[in-house]
Structure 1
Amino acid sequence: MRSYTRLFFWLTLCGLSSPALSQSPAVENAVFWEISANGLSKPSYLFGTFHLKGSTYVDSLTQVMDKFKSSGTVVGELLFDSTMTMKMMTASIMKDTTLDMLLSREHFQQTASWLKELSGYDLKMFNKMNPMMVEILITSTLQQKYFPAPANDRPMDLYFQQRAKTEGKKMVGLESFDEQINALYHQFSYKRQADMLMDLVLEKDRAKSDVVNMNRYYREGNLTELESMMTRQVFSEKETDVLVNDRNRNWMKQLPGLMKEQPTFIAVGALHLAGEKGLVALLRKAGYVVKPVRML
Structure 2
Amino acid sequence: MKKISAILLSLFLLTSAFSSVHASEQSVSVELNGEQFQFSNALPIIENGVTLVPMRPLLEKLGIQVEWDESTGTVSGSKEGLSLSLKIGSKRADANGQAVTLEVEPKLIQNVTYVPLRFVAETVGYQVAWNSSLRQVSLTSGKQSEDSKGFLWKIENKGNTVYMLGTIHTVDKTIYPLRPEIENAFNAADYLGVEIDFTKIVPDELTKLITDVSEYKDGTTLKDHISAETYNKVTAFLKENGLPENSFDNIKAWYAQQQMGTILAAKQDLNEGMGIDMYFMGKAINTKKPIIGLETFESQYQVFNNFSDSLQEKLLLQFLDPNSLPSSATEMSMDDILKVWKTGDEKNLVKFVDALRWDDDYFKGMQTDRNLAMAEKIKGYLNSDKKETYMIALGASHFAGDSGLVTMLEKQGFKVEKQ
User: Which whole-Å deviations, capped at 9, do the CAs of 1:71-126 have from their partners, x for residues lacking one?
Assistant: 11111123223336413344222233222223334322222223443x43234122
Counterpart of 1:47, as a letter, is L
Aligned partner letter, 1:193: Q
8 Å CA contact retained: 1:131, 1:193: yes
User: 1:164, 1:171 within 8 Å by CA — same for their partners in 2?
Assistant: yes
2:70 is the alignment partner of 1:70: no
Structure 2 match to 1:235: 359
- What is the TM-score normalised by the length of structure 2? 0.55
Structure 1: stretches of 5+ with no match in the other structure: 1-6, 13-29
Alpha-carbon separation, structure 1, partners of 2:176 and 2:345: 20
| Alignment of structure 1 residues 46-125 onto 2, 5 Å | 46-53=164-171, 59-63=176-180, 64-80=182-198, 81-83=200-202, 85-86=206-207, 87-96=209-218, 97-117=220-240, 119-125=241-247
Partner of 1:27: none
Which structure: greater strand fraction? 2
Question: Quick one: distance in 2 between partners of 1:39 and 1:112?
Answer: 57
Q: 1:163 aligns with which of 283, 286, 309?
A: 283
SS class of match (1:163): helix
Offset at 1:239? 4.7
- 5+ long unaligned stretches in structure 2: 1-10, 17-148
Partners in 2 of 1:114 and 1:212 — Cα distance? 23
Distance 1:271 1:69 in 2: 24
Q: 2:253·2:316 contact (CA, 8 Å) conserved in 1? A: yes
Matched, 1:33 2:152: yes
- Going from structure 1 to structure 2, the CA distance change for 1:263 and 1:133 (only over 3 Å counts) comes to same
Secondary structure of the structure 2 residue equivalent to 1:194 = helix
Give matches, 1:209-288, under 5 Å: 210-233=333-356, 234-236=358-360, 239-259=362-382, 261=386, 262-288=388-414
Does the 8 A contact of 2:164 with 2:391 survive in 1?
Answer: yes
Identity of aligned residues (%): 23
- Asked if residue 177 in structure 1 is aligned to residue 297 in structure 2, the reply is yes
Richer in helix (by share): 1
Bigger radius of gyration among the two = 2
Deviations 1:132-189 (A, max 9, x none): 222222233333322344xx9344323423432331212212233332222x223202
CA contact (8 A) 1:93 1:128 kept: yes
**Paired residues of 1:51 and 1:155 also in contact (CA < 8 A):** yes
Whether the 8 Å contact between 1:103 and 1:194 is mirrored in structure 2 is yes
TM-score when scaled to structure 1? 0.74
Partners of 1:31 and 1:223 within 8 A in 2? no
- CA distance 1:49–1:220, shift in 2 (3 Å): same
Partner of 2:13: 9
What pairs up with 1:138-157 in 2 under 5 angstroms?
138-149=260-271, 153-157=273-277
The one of the two structures with greater contact order (alpha-carbon pairs below 8 A, sep at least 6) is 1
Q: Distance in 2 between matches of 1:110 and 1:215?
A: 29
